[in-house]
Each structure stands twice: as C-alpha cells, then as structure tokens.
Amino acid sequence: MLKKILSISGRPGLFKLVSQAKGALIVEDLASGKRTLAYSHDKVTSLGDIAMYTESGEEPLYKVLESVKQKENGAEASVSPKADKDTLRNYFAEVLPNFDRERVYPNDISKLISWYNLLVKSGITDFAVEEEKKAE
C-alpha cells in the first residue's frame, strides 16, 4: 500500500496516487480528499522507497511504521510531532532502538510521526509492501 502513498516536496501532507496523466500524476490529498496534479518537475517520493538509518544499515519505512503501530496498538502516536527534540529521540528509541543518532534528525522523527498519524486518520494501517506480502 505504501508504494501508492506519495510525499511531494513543497506540499504538506501525503497523497494517494490515483492515476497518471500526460506529463503528470493525478494525486489525492489524504487529509482533504481533494485531487490535484503532480507534475514531472515536482519531487515525488513513494513512501515504499523511504528508509530510516540504523547503526547496521537502513530500515524500510514500512517496518518502522509497523513498529509505531505495535507500540501504539494501532492508535495515533502518543507523542506530538511538535514535541521537543529530546522527547522525539526518546520516543523513537522505543520504536527503533538501533537508529543512527547522528544521521536521523529530530525533524525526520517529527515527519515520521506526522505521516503515521495522517495514515491512521485516513484508515491506512496496512503498511507492508506488496512484494513483502507475496513472499510470505
């Protein structure tokens, strides 16, 4: 499911890929449900392609989101994305204990929490990537 959820640089929130048009993607804002276009010059990143740095490499975002979901029992995050940096780091240490403290910044953790909350509010709680499901 995360392959079709997109982050567009310069635009707040997350977007669901609806379709493709000539030279653009048709996307739907998860928060408002409004459809808009993402053009070829926009920096579009699929959540399925994002990973967080750990001391032993990288952890795919879907696994990190699953860890947050388990910690919160499927509810929204218990910490605010606007919390101070020490609170964010302590929370993230509970979710991903071996995260790289030098390369994962508080604003990365804040963005992750914001995305997680937005996905849960939108009813998207199945974070596994399709290829991973097929392998099981």
DSSP for 86-132?
Answer: HHHHHHHHHHSTTB-TTTS-HHHHHHHHHHHHHHHHTT------HHH
Q: Based on the domain organization, do 58 and 124 belong to the same domain?
A: yes
Same domain, 34 and 91: no
What's the CATH number where 121 sits? 1.10.10.1650
- The edge-to-edge listing of strands for the beta sheet with 24-29 is 35-39, 24-29, 15-21, 5-8, 44-46
Token pair belonging to 121: 């509010």
Range of the domain at 9: 2-47
Report mean pLDDT in 10-residue bins for the chain, 136 residues.
90 94 93 94 94 95 94 92 95 95 95 95 81 48
Q: What is the pLDDT of residue 130?
A: 54
**pTM of the full structure:** 0.88
Predicted confidence at residue 70, as pLDDT, reads 93
